[in-house]
Structure 1
Amino acid sequence: MTTETSATKRIVVVSSGLSTPSSTRQLADRLAGDAVAQLRERGHDVDVQVFELRDLAHDITNHLLMGFAPPKLEAALDAVASADGLIAVTPIFTTSYAGLFKSFIDVIDPQALTDLPVLIGATGGTPRHSLAIDYAIRPLFTYLHATPVTTGVFAATSDWGDGGDGVRSLPERIFRGAKEFADLVERTDRRDLVNDPFALDRPMGHLIGGLAGE
């Protein structure tokens, strides 16, 4: 194990589960735990910030309507913009990501996600919803120039059991996704992007009182 530590890696975790307790938050915590363990084993200090989108739901809606982010939402947006990696987990509703999840993505400065490593997680009642990771969630982050890792982790209700059906167990999938994420976070340097002296302090949509792209 290396004894020399590099700059602290900043990981942001976003969970859009609506219930308490939430299997979506549980999956987010498991993904973050494995990713942090991977990075610390390699000698990195890690700072983790977790945001429950249900706590920001009113602020997100107000921002969509008014183009202004209240302090709690602004803190989440700033954290994403300055992160070295993002773990994003959503429940699957009607074959796709939750509306709250998409609304949060909509209020992020599009440039903030450029080259950002993303570990995608999703939860749903049955395994057939797992395809939503690749036909809905992954293209969303790719469109925004983020870098989703190859393995997306889906957890169906039955996956929280012992995994004795011969299918790769949930802990194994979590470990694989977290390892790929840690590999990417370790070799990605977004400091020049985050500290660009010519970048706007706020997205253009904020400066003109609305959202860019409207």
Structure 2
Amino acid sequence: MPPHSPAPLALAIVSAGTSDPSSTRLLTDRVAQKATSILDDQGMAVTTQVIELGPLAVDIAKAIVSGLRSHRLEQAIEVLAAADGVIAGTPVHTAGMSGLFKSFFDLLDNDLVIAKPTLLSMTGGTSRHALVMEDQVRPMFAYLRALTTPTSIFAAPEDWSSPELGRRISRAATELAALMASRVGNTITDQAWSGYQHRFDGKAARAERGADHVDFGTALMRLAASGGLPPAQRDGTQT
């Protein structure tokens, strides 16, 4: 790689499929292959890492109950935190998203995926569950403030042999590739990061990890340190 070329883009796949083979994983892989192909055609290098939630099920359950994350779970979260783009895939379980999928994202710091380009995908046994994506999954990522692609992908058994699924994958992958190539997530967080709330010692890119990362010059920190507020703020003339 030339010395001044940008760092490779990092793509993370989160798959909640538990069967072997997993249709959810097959779908996310197809999307990833298309997205990386598009970026490769643009001369952009991409590294891909997969977070399989099935092998982490016990770790996730223990973390929910105890609040303690295993080393394997911490590594998975770090992969997600470092990603420039995400493909998130879940099967439909009992007319809803997988509980394993929901539980994993419940464990994340609320600021971990802010402005992170994310493509949503789902598999189900019938097309009647297609709206679970828009009814449940997209609102969850909106709460997490991820930057989801306009197109999501749902695949029922009859869709796998349909040309329409390929066209939808191409459209969604194009949207994800465009967002990743623009590095829009970095632009948003660089320019507006101070407007977000962050968990101290979290894994978000700009979370405060120690005393060196804390801005002690803010009015709130001066007040906490018994330094008092500036006169203008004490008088209520500045908000």
Q: TM-score range by the shorter chain?
A: 0.7 to 0.9
Percent identity over paired residues? 40
TM-score by length of 2: 0.76
Alpha-carbon distance in structure 2 between the residues aligned to 1:43 and 1:68: 41
Which residue type is aligned with residue 149 of structure 1?
T
Larger Rg: 2
Bigger relative contact order (CA 8 A; separation at least 6): 1
**C-alpha displacement of 1:120:** 0.3
2:209 paired residue number: 200
**C-alpha displacement of 1:51:** 1.2
Where is the strand percentage greater, Structure 1 or Structure 2?
1
| Structure 1 residues 195 and 121: CA distance shift in structure 2, 3 A | closer
Unpaired runs of 5+ residues, structure 2, are 194-203, 211-239
User: Contact 1:149 / 1:180 at 8 angstroms: preserved in 2?
Assistant: yes
User: Contact 2:9 / 2:46 at 8 angstroms: preserved in 1?
Assistant: yes
Alpha-carbon distance in structure 1 between the residues aligned to 2:148 and 2:209: 25
Cα RMSD for the two superposed structures: 1.7
> Is 1:32 paired with 2:32?
yes
> Is 1:180 paired with 2:189?
no
**C-alpha displacement of 1:5:** 4.8
Where in structure 2 are the equivalents of 1:1-214 lying within 5 Å?
5-161=5-161, 163=162, 169-187=164-182, 188-190=184-186, 192=190, 194-196=204-206, 199-200=208-209
Alpha-carbon distance in structure 1 between the residues aligned to 2:15 and 2:28: 6
Alpha-carbon distance in structure 1 between the residues aligned to 2:209 and 2:107: 16
Alpha-carbon distance in structure 2 between the residues aligned to 1:195 and 1:52: 22
Alpha-carbon distance in structure 1 between the residues aligned to 2:5 and 2:92: 38
User: Contact 1:5 / 1:44 at 8 angstroms: preserved in 2?
Assistant: no
Unpaired runs of 5+ residues, structure 1, are 202-214
User: Contact 1:130 / 1:154 at 8 angstroms: preserved in 2?
Assistant: yes
Which residue type is aligned with residue 22 of structure 1?
S
Alpha-carbon distance in structure 2 between the residues aligned to 1:84 and 1:117: 7
Equivalenced residues, count: 192
User: Contact 2:117 / 2:185 at 8 angstroms: preserved in 1?
Assistant: no
Which residue type is aligned with residue 56 of structure 2?
L
User: Contact 1:6 / 1:43 at 8 angstroms: preserved in 2?
Assistant: no
| Structure 1 residues 92 and 43: CA distance shift in structure 2, 3 A | same
